[in-house]
Amino acid sequence: MQSLLTNKTASITEFRDPSKVIDSAGGEPVAVLNRNRVVGYFVPVEAVEKLSFESTGAGEAKATIKKRKPAIASVLKYLEDK
């Protein structure tokens, strides 16, 4: 079973009228579903504006990657050839 990273969902069919999806999202991200499977996420501008980003040092970034390496191993493998 797939886990959703948001509480709001919309089907591909609902995106025929994207403004309706944006209005109903209330500034929150929306999981886009196709046949009840997540195919992507739609993130309104309001949701991105709520985020804050802080810079980090190389040491902290390396430590985080090392800690998360098992979870991101498939992505790292894919990027080896790029």
Q: Is the pLDDT higher at 79 or at 12?
A: 12
pLDDT score for 34: 93
This prediction has a pTM of 0.58
Q: At CB < 8 A and 24+ separation, what contacts does 40-43 make? A: 41/5, 41/6, 42/10, 42/15
pLDDT score for 1: 56
Helices (H), 1-82: 18-25, 45-49, 58-80
Find tokens 């991200």 and name the residue. 29
What percent of the chain stands above pLDDT 90? 34
Structure tokens at 35: 């046949």
Taking residues 45-70, report their average pLDDT. Answer: 86
Distance, CA of 17 to CA of 67 (rounded, Å): 42
